[in-house]
C-alpha cells in the first residue's frame, strides 16, 4: 500500500468513527440515512465576558421583577381573601343582632318546638 492509500483510509476512519452496525429492523440492504448525522450544530462565536455578564445581570433583574410581581399578586389575593372573611363575619354578626326573638317563659313550649327553632334559640345565647 502506498502512503496515499493509508492516509485515505485514516481520513475515512476519522470522518466516520461510527462503524456500521446491523439495523434494528434487520434490513441490512437499506442504506444509512446520513441526513441527521451530517448536520452539525455550530455554537457560533463566543461572546465577550462583558457581554455575558451584562446578559447575566439582565436575567437576574428579570427574575427579581418576576418574583416581585408574583409576591404582589399573592398579597392582593390574600388581602381580598381576608376582606371577604371579615365581611362574612360582620354579616353574620349583623344578622344575629337584627334577629327578632321572644323569650320563652313556658318550658313546655321548648319541648314542642321544632329542631330548627331550637337551633335558632341556641344561637341567641352566643350574642
Q: Residue 115 has which C-alpha cell? A: 329542631
The secondary structure of 6-28 as a DSSP string is HHHHHHHHHH--S-----TTS-T
CA 80/CA 73 separation, integer angstroms:
11
pLDDT at residue 127 is higher than 50? no
For 21, phi and psi rounded to 5 degrees?
Answer: -115, 175
Q: Residue 55 has which C-alpha cell? A: 446578559
CA 47/CA 54 separation, integer angstroms:
11
Percentage of the chain modeled with pLDDT above 70? 77
Handedness of CA 75, 80, 83, 88 (dihedral sign): negative
Mean pLDDT of 86-103: 86
- What 8-state DSSP symbol labels residue 101? -
Structure confidence by residue, pLDDT tens digits, 63-72: 999 999 999 9
pLDDT at residue 84 is higher than 70? yes
CA 52/CA 82 separation, integer angstroms:
45
CA 19/CA 22 separation, integer angstroms:
10
Structure confidence by residue, pLDDT tens digits, 101-111: 677 777 777 77
> What is the reported pTM?
0.43
Three-state secondary structure call for residue 91: helix
Res 97: pLDDT: 84
Mean pLDDT of 39-46: 77
Amino acid at each position: 500500500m502506498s502512503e496515499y492509500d493509508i492516509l485515505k483510509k485514516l481520513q475515512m476512519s476519522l470522518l466516520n468513527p461510527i462503524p456500521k452496525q446491523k439495523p434494528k429492523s434487520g434490513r441490512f440492504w437499506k442504506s444509512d440515512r446520513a441526513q441527521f448525522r451530517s448536520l452539525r450544530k455550530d455554537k457560533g462565536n463566543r461572546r465577550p465576558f462583558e457581554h455575558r455578564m451584562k446578559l447575566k445581570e439582565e436575567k437576574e433583574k428579570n427574575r427579581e421583577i418576576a418574583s416581585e410581581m408574583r409576591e404582589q399578586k399573592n398579597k392582593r389575593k390574600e388581602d381580598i381573601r381576608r376582606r371577604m372573611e371579615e365581611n362574612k363575619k360582620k354579616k353574620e354578626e349583623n344578622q344575629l343582632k337584627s334577629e327578632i326573638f321572644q323569650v320563652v317563659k313556658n318550658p313546655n313550649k321548648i319541648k314542642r318546638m321544632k329542631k330548627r327553632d331550637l337551633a335558632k334559640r341556641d344561637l341567641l345565647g352566643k350574642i
